[in-house]
Amino acid sequence: MKHLSLLGLLWLVIRRDMLLAMRRRADVLTTLIFFVMVVSLFPLGVGPEAEMLRKMAGGVLWVAALLSSMLSLPRMFAADHLDGTLEQMMLVPQSLSVMVLGKIVAHWMLSGLPLVLIAPVLGVQFDMPLAAIWTLMLALLLGTPVLSMIGAVGAALTLGLRGGGVLVSLLVLPLTIPVLIFGAGAVEAVNSGLDAVSNLALLGAFLLFALVFTPFVAAQALRISME
């Protein structure tokens, strides 16, 4: 049996999750469509006045990103839980934290990264200036992984419970508020002609902090849920 390094394990898990997701492309697309739809609802709700929309854009896109991430969270562990793979993963001597990290990375690439890539299109819908759009993309790039990571803890805790998506959202959303504040704050800073560096730096700090702690915490949460 070939010895598997931690990095090899990580890559294995990422590849597997991505492959499985590719076979059910609809799941990935629905998250994206949800994101676009939610963003489009706001102008319908508050009116098409350009100045107001420009001001709102950062906040609206961020809230929509939060909601879209929440929607796709149960998918992280549910399928593997149902067919028994998760149990196998936990019995194996390899590090569960690393496997969880792999799942988080895969989740982000399927739910978070698409949002980053489609954000400019939506930014244009809101008539955002170019500098703001760039900042938004960078902020989302730093922030959406954090959403996936905090979400992983929530998804692990609520494994197999009824009320799935809503319960996870209830638990996870309050914890993601700092990301929302500084993510939207970055866009607003640029709109006011200020520098977004401090906001982005904080987002980066959140990312590092989450990267260090969440795989382990989520792994513990999985063990709690699976006993």
153 lines the binding site for another protein (CB under 8 A): yes
158 lines the binding site for another protein (CB under 8 A): yes
| CB nearer to another protein: pick between 51 and 192 | 192
Q: Build a one-symbol-per-residue string for 31-50: x at contacts with another protein by CB under 8 A, - elsewhere.
A: --------------------
Interface pick for another protein out of 9, 79, 167, 211 (rule CB under 8 A):
167
| CB nearer to another protein: pick between 79 and 181 | 181
| CB nearer to another protein: pick between 82 and 224 | 224
Spell out the SS3 assignment of the chain: CCCCCHHHHHHHHHHHHHHHHHHCHHHHHHHHHHHHHHHHHHHHHHCCCHHHHHHHHHHHHHHHHHHHHHHHCCHHHHHHHHCCHHHHHHHCCCCHHHHHHHHHHHHHHHHHHHHHHHHHHHHHHCCCCHHHHHHHHHHHHHHHHHHHHHHHHHHHHCCCCCCHHHHHHHHHHHHHHHHHHHHHHHHHHHHCCCCCHHHHHHHHHHHHHHHHHHHHHHHHHHHHHHC
Interface pick for another protein out of 173, 186, 187, 190 (rule CB under 8 A):
173
174 lines the binding site for another protein (CB under 8 A): yes
Residues near another protein (CB under 8 A): 153, 157-158, 161-163, 167, 170-171, 173-175, 177-178, 181-182, 185, 188, 217, 220-221, 224-225, 227
